[in-house]
Amino acid sequence: MTFSRREFIKWLSASAAIAGNSGCATATTPKSAGRVVVIGGGFAGATAAKYIRMWGPDIEVTLVERDQEFVSCPLSNRVLAGVIQLRELTRDYGKLHAKHGVKVVRDEVVSIEADRQEVKLASGSTLQYDRLIVAPGVDILADEVPGLAAASDRVLHAWKAGPQTVALRKQLEAMPDGGVYALTVPKAPYRCPPGPYERACQVAWYFKTHKPRSKVLILDANEDVVSKKGLFTKAWTDRYAGMVEYRPNSELMAVEGGSLTAKLAFEDVKADVLNVVPPQRAGKVALDAGLVNANNRWCGVDFLTYESTAVKNVHVLGDAIMAAPQMPKSGHMANQHAKVCAAAVVALLHGEQVNSQPLLTNTCYSFVSDKDVIHVASVHSYNPEKKTMEIVQGASGVSAAASELEGQYAEAWGRNIWADMLA
């Protein structure tokens, strides 16, 4: 049998069409199951973007992040002790695109137009979505403490790892031996419950080894140590006796920047280095979009999908959510929210049922010296009657004692979670 040129071309096109319909591998792009836009490339957003692509390769995912690189808050208190450099906590976003096909856009989302299912970027462009994931972390509310915003060049928070972490380290290095470092802790809930107490240990370790006549003063707005109380208290009394002082019920009312004074309800405390961790709220982009509907601070979500209880087709993750009882605002927990949400978004875009029994874990390590570490861990399951997450009975606990072995676990935890999000 012989073919004319025209017949041959017709035959080729027909074969290609049959191959496409029968599911044979062809070079054609598969039909998209939907478009997902993720706001924020932190522990929650980067994980969600990667896992949606892994579990739903037919879904288009665009991640919008305003920073060039990811810098980890976990382990950043060690920069203050001079044990590590910030660069060791910094990773790029390259593999999210190269390995997982996430479109990474370096820009800032300035508004969410939920009725049109689109977001507007600072650069002026617009992105359309079928499902939006909002993971902006927290905003630091310096304006809630009179005098703080005006003193922001001298009174640092360093509660977002970055330039402030390095600047606070410099203040500690410049402080004379015999000086006072005062750290204020806001009322819970705030980002990383054990974080301030770990910071006090890290600064105390630095002082003990370099400026032994100095003092660490913890001014806590809470009535007691919020996390790992027994273990932190033991570190302060055994390792840093006479150096660390803990004062509960010490809410910061105002700051006097010139004299580095923390004004409390009944006393004024003057410091040589004043480090204020201010109250926090879900990132501004969530507030402006009407997603903040709990205590004027946090975003209510459905714990099966992390869909907002305020706006349809919009999911909120990480520190920005109104957490369930005993669910900490941690990087580990943000990574777990992201996986439950990623699975739910993939299911919803394919018209499938979402998992009705999600299970979350959390582990938070804290360095009490340059090497010794303590942890708190918990498992959380969904309670369908109360529609919330609860700690599984018997599935939570803390270290028996600080150890170097846990120090190795903590460093491995960091490497693993950064790889899980970004590699």
Ligand X SMILES: Cc1cc2nc3c(=O)[nH]c(=O)nc-3n(C[C@H](O)[C@H](O)[C@H](O)COP(=O)(O)OP(=O)(O)OC[C@H]3O[C@@H](n4cnc5c(N)ncnc54)[C@H](O)[C@@H]3O)c2cc1C
Which residues of this protein are in contact with ligand X, per CB under 6 A? 39-45, 64-67, 73-74, 76-77, 108-109, 135-137, 159, 191-192, 195, 283, 285, 318-320, 329-332, 334, 364-365
CA–CA dist 54, 345 (Å, integer) = 12
How far from 262 is each of 6, 62, 175, 273, 350, CA to CA, in Å? 86, 43, 17, 11, 54
Question: Angle 115-119-123 (CA atoms, 0-180°, nearest 5)?
Answer: 145
CA trace torsion 82, 84, 85, 91 (10° rounding): -150
Q: Residue of minimal CB distance from ligand X?
A: 42
Rounded least distance, CB 272 to ligand X, Å: 21
Q: How far is the CB of 15 from ligand X (least distance, A)?
A: 47
CB of 172 to ligand X, least distance (A): 14
Structural element, H or E, at residue 183: strand 180-185
CA quadruple 337, 339, 345, 347: dihedral positive or negative? negative
Nearest approach in angstroms of CB 103 to ligand X is 14
Identify residue 233 by its one-letter amino acid code.
T
Specify the residue, 261 or 291, whose C-beta has the smaller distance to ligand X. Answer: 291
**Cβ at position 363, least distance to ligand X in Å:** 7
Long-range contacts of residues 49-53, Cβ cutoff 8 Å, at least 24 apart: 49/96, 49/100, 49/102, 49/133, 50/96, 50/100, 50/102, 50/421, 50/422, 51/338, 51/339, 51/342, 51/343, 52/342, 52/345, 52/346, 53/100, 53/101, 53/102
* Nearest to ligand X of 244, 364 (CB atom): 364
Closest to ligand X by CB, 138 or 261: 138
Which residue, 16 or 110, is less far from ligand X as judged by CB? 110
Burial of 155 (C-beta count, 10 Å sphere; 0-12/13-18/19+): buried
Tell me the angle at which helices 331-349 and 404-422 cross, rounded to the nearest 10 degrees.
30
Question: Which one, 196 or 256, has the nearer CB to ligand X?
Answer: 196
Q: What is the DSSP string of 60-117?
A: EEEEEESSSSEE-STTTHHHHHTSS-GGGGEE-SHHHHHTT--EEEES-EEEEEGGGT
CB of 413 to ligand X, least distance (A): 8
**At residue 322, what are phi and psi to the nearest 5 degrees?**
-75, 105
Nearer to ligand X, 218 or 364 (CB): 364
Residue number, 214 or 366, with CB nearest to ligand X = 366
Nearer to ligand X, 66 or 208 (CB): 66
SS3 364: strand
CA distance linking residue 327 with residue 322, whole number of Å: 9
Smallest distance, ligand X to C-beta of residue 133, A: 10
**At its nearest, how many Å lie between ligand X and the CB of residue 333?**
7
- CB-nearer residue toward ligand X: 73 or 389: 73
CB of 24 to ligand X, least distance (A): 41
Which are the contacts of 143, defined by CB distance < 8 A and separation ≥ 6? Answer: 149
